[in-house]
């Protein structure tokens, strides 16, 4: 097991630094699928303790400030684990979408695999969670509405998020206008 950890660590750090989170998760899923629970916990603890010994040693450093600041500088697609490069492209295009009548965005959504519709919507919701002023339409809202047209699962996520906002009847005029003709919103 120990040599395997060093091989995996080297691959993750040197070959795939961009995909560190998703590959780590895949490794954990692999262990969960192929090992018993007690052995999994033991191996994960061993893996983590050996990983912590690798250079650069960060054990004694408080990284909370770096993690907090990285939320502001990381592209939103980096938060969505398991999203393919094409899924990230769709997510970024939907974040920048100004209105829901974009033929380019519609073509991107037609090519988006079903299994990536929910992670893309989660990425859009993560973008919308950063909004504090709802007086103007935020980046990502039009993209979320367009994706909701194409996926009932994505629509249910967006509906749940809009309900969490607790705007009720105090929705901004732009939001009321944007949602009035959306069938997925009427069905909610």
pLDDT per residue as tens digits for the range 111-133: 898 889 989 999 999 889 888 88
pLDDT at position 144: 95
Plot region of 81 (φ>0 → left; ψ -120 to 50 → alpha; else → beta): beta
pLDDT at position 2: 45
Q: Give the global pTM.
A: 0.58
Please, are residues 161 and 111 in contact by the beta-carbon 8 Å criterion?
no
Segment 125-158, tens digit of pLDDT: 988 988 888 889 999 999 999 999 999 999 999 9
Instruction: Quote the tokens at residue 120.
Output: 């893309």
């Amino acid at each position: 097991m120990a040599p395997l950890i060093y091989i995996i660590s080297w691959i993750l750090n040197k070959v795939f630094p961009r995909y560190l989170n998703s590959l780590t998760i895949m490794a954990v899923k692999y262990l969960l699928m192929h090992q018993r629970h007690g052995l999994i916990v033991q191996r994960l603890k061993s893996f983590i303790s050996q990983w912590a010994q690798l250079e650069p040693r960060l054990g004694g450093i408080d990284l909370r400030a770096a993690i907090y600041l990285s939320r502001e500088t990381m592209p939103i697609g980096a938060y969505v684990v398991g999203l393919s490069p094409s899924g990230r492209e769709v997510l970024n295009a939907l974040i920048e979408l100004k209105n829901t009548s974009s033929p380019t965005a519609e073509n991107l959504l037609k090519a988006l695999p079903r299994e990536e519709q929910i992670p893309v919507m989660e990425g859009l919701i993560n973008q919308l969670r950063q909004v504090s002023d709802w007086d103007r339409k935020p980046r990502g809202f039009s993209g979320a509405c367009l994706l909701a047209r194409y996926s009932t699962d994505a629509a249910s996520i967006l509906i749940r998020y809009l309900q969490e906002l607790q705007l009720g009847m105090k929705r901004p005029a732009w939001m009321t206008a944007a949602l009035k003709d959306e069938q997925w919103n009427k069905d909610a």
